[in-house]
Amino acid sequence: MQIDIVTIFPRMVEAGLAEGVVGRARDRGLLDIAVHDLRAFTTDRHHVVDDVPFGGGPGMVLKPEPLFAAVDAIRERRGGVRDVLLTSPAGRRFTQADARRLAGADGFIVLCGRYEGVDDRVRTLLATDEISIGDYVLSGGELPALVIVDAVSRLVPGVVGDEQSVEGDSFTRGLLDYPHFTRPAEFRGQRVPDVLVSGHHGEIRRWRLAQALQRTFEQRPDLLATAVLDEDERELLRALHQSRARTGHEGED
């Protein structure tokens, strides 16, 4: 997997790529990630990457030429087609489905937005996707780029040691995870549920499934619309709906 990130803050992005699962996968050669300083693609003496907006108004806008030059140079070096993701608060929300699609490609390019914005011709002529990571205001696309790289990387075979834990990921199944406990068995008066220390693996599996469904039902009911459920799971879900109706808890949280 070859990933290229173009930014005016290369050290910020490098710092985020150095540790953890992604850092290890880079060291092991599973991920070939290059961070490019946008200033390296300027042609003027002062390496200017931004300019005032046409029409006036506050702030600065990233100039198009260095971004186009960066993508040209990256495509030259990498060869082949590459998606070009532009990070932007106006983009489509990044999802696990996007991560899956990108993980199936040979690689992609991320352009980090900054300042008040990016010259719109980058969006219309250069980017293949315009991506936001959520409805909150950040100072730029560097953290979103790291979020995208992290989500995609863990879907690349071998990057996460335990393939089972990737398979069981909540968003892979469309459900939230069940609660986890470790020792001690009692902490501040709270005991770990008996079933988990019982050693009955069938019961443990059913308990975890029921907990995952209940949590999703209570905390993220929107996920249930698209979750892939088998007959047992749909039956459990019907029971949750009915108990909520019976006990008069509907409309509460």
Query: In sequence order, which residues have a C-beta less than 8 Å from that of residue 116 and are 6 or more positions away?
Result: 53, 57, 58, 59, 60, 61
Q: How far is the CB of 118 from ligand 9D3 (least distance, A)?
A: 8
> Which of the stretches 33-41, 139-147, 154-162, 177-185 binds ligand 9D3 when contact is defined by CB under 6 A?
139-147
Q: Residue 144, interface with ligand 9D3 (CB under 6 A)? A: yes
Q: Is 154 designated active site?
A: yes
Q: How far is the CB of 66 from ligand 9D3 (least distance, A)?
A: 16
Q: Residue 88, interface with ligand 9D3 (CB under 6 A)? A: yes
What are residue 185's phi and psi, to 5 degrees? -65, -25
What are residue 228's phi and psi, to 5 degrees? -95, 110
Give the Cα separation of 146 and 95 in Å (integer).
Answer: 14
Q: Is 116 designated active site?
A: yes
> Which of the stretches 46-54, 135-143, 170-178, 198-206 binds ligand 9D3 when contact is defined by CB under 6 A?
135-143
Q: How far is the CB of 47 from ligand 9D3 (least distance, A)?
A: 21
Give the Cα separation of 148 and 134 in Å (integer).
Answer: 12
DSSP string, 125-180: II-SEEEE-SSS--S-SHHHHHHHHHHHHTTSTTTSS-HHHHHT-HHHHTSPPPP-
Given the residues 24, 39, 75, 169, select the one marked as catalytic.
Answer: 169
Q: Residue 10, interface with ligand 9D3 (CB under 6 A)? A: no
Q: Residue 16, interface with ligand 9D3 (CB under 6 A)? A: no
Residues at the interface with ligand 9D3 (CB under 6 A): 87-89, 113, 116-117, 132-134, 136-141, 144
Q: Which residues are catalytic?
A: 89, 116, 154, 169
